[in-house]
Amino acid sequence: MTTILGLALLTLSLPVGNTAFADDLLHSSYKGAAKVDPDVADLTSLNVRMSHQAVQVPSQLVKEQVDLSEVRAARSMIAPSPKAAILEDDNHHRVVVLSATEEGQVQAQVLEDLDFSSKIPFIRACTDQRRCAFDRQPVTGGLACVAICVQQALDPEHE
């Protein structure tokens, strides 16, 4: 009876140990073999969040404000068009906030020290190729389409 109880306890303790190990990996500040600084945005894994409300970023947080004059975002014909796209990493470090006017003009508020201006030719080519000025799909078109191009342009693995 003691042997059965011992085996049962050993079996029950294995998943707890494995869960603790998995939890340690999940909350670790290591990515691969390199330590990741939690205060620096990870540009390789930017997420895009869309907002139907305009996002007003405090001016002291904006490092650079760029009018993407040659980039247009189509308005959705089915649902209300998003007014902002927020690009942030998994730790919720906001990197860029995109906004679109009623006419489809796009503006970027850059919140990190980036060479954003050098990315504009890629963003323009990407939005032309994806036809963001004409794609009226509510989830992937318009401002979301532009945000995907900005996400690709900022990815250091893209270069």
DSSP states of the chain as a string? -HHHHHHHHHHHHHHHHHHHHHHHHHT-SEETTEEPPTTS--GGG-EEEEESS-----GGG-SEEEEEEEEE-PPPSSSPPPSEEEEE-TT--EEEEEEE-TT-EEEEEE-S---GGGGHHHHHHHHHHHTTTT---TTTSTHHHHHHHHHHHH-TTT-
User: pLDDT digit string (tens) for 75-125?
Assistant: 888 878 889 999 999 888 899 999 998 888 999 999 999 899 999 999 999
**106 shares its domain with 71:** yes
Q: Are residues 16 and 76 in the same domain?
A: no
Judgement on whether residues 31 and 60 belong to the same structural domain of the protein: no
Residue 29's domain comprises: 2-35
Together in a domain, 88 and 13: no
pLDDT in tens, 114-131: 899 999 999 999 999 999
Looking at the 3D structure of the chain, how many domains does it have?
A: 2
- Residue 159 within a domain: no
pLDDT for 98 equals 96
Q: Say whether both 6 and 52 belong to one domain.
A: no
Answer yes or no: do 6 and 59 share one domain. no
Same domain, 18 and 88: no
Q: Same domain, yes or no, for 82 and 26? A: no
Q: Cα separation of 49 and 85, whole Å?
A: 6
Evaluated on CA atoms 61, 67, 71, 74, the torsion sign reads: positive
